[in-house]
Amino acid sequence: MSTDKLARRRAILDATIGLLGTRGLEGVTHRAVDEAAGLPQGSCSYYFPKKTALLIAAAEHLAALLEKDCDDLQLGFADIAARDGMDAAVAYVARELVTYADTERSLFLARMELTMAAARRPELADLGTQLTSAARRPIAFFLTLIADGRPDVPVETAAGLIDGITLMYATGQGPKPTTDQVAAVFRSIL
């Protein structure tokens, strides 16, 4: 695929994720995506003739965005842990996760929209698992690292707790998580 086509495809997927986060699943139409992406009418339907194909591609793109963010967080953690120690690195990760809940709220909401759609539509069945795994990956990574390989540490439970706290906040159902809350979950593993 040419660079121009890749750029258009990415613009379509970014616009779709943005619409999922602001308007929900029902707000995602080919016309709305074209408008949000700043592309001529018909662009979205050219790349994704069916809405299902668009949603699957958007979920894959969203998972990749979440994975990239995880990689960036791991690099920062490693640098701070080496320079300032594990407590400073834990505090850094907690701050980053809390900040992420604010700065990337639309990603959280798009994830929830796609996860709910996956629960209701058989053709999207695997999307919820894929997105939850991608979103929890950084949390589980740090919990596993902090646990130092101990098999008795409930990594999945702790990752689910942090994920739940941030999702409740992103959906307006809970208070903003604090760095101390997130750090407490991480430190409970130590």
Q: Hey, where are the domains in the chain?
A: 3-189
Please check whether residue 180 is in contact with residue 90, taking contact to mean a CB–CB distance below 8 angstroms.
no
Closest CA to 70 of 139, 156, 159, 8: 139
Label residue 90 exposed, middle or buried (CB < 10 Å: 0-12, 13-18, 19+): buried
Query: What pLDDT shows up at residue 167?
Result: 85
Query: What pLDDT shows up at residue 190?
Result: 64
Query: What pLDDT shows up at residue 152?
Result: 81
Structure tokens that stand for 35 in this block: 């408008």
Closest CA to 124 of 33, 181, 32, 60: 60
Q: What is the pLDDT along the chain (190 residues), one digit of tens a residue?
A: 789 999 999 999 999 999 999 999 999 999 999 999 999 999 999 999 999 999 999 999 999 988 777 777 888 888 898 899 888 888 888 888 888 888 888 998 999 999 999 999 999 999 989 998 888 887 787 777 777 777 887 878 888 888 888 888 888 898 988 888 888 887 777 6
Q: Return the CATH architecture of domain 3-189.
A: Orthogonal Bundle (1.10)
Please check whether residue 66 is in contact with residue 134, taking contact to mean a CB–CB distance below 8 angstroms.
yes
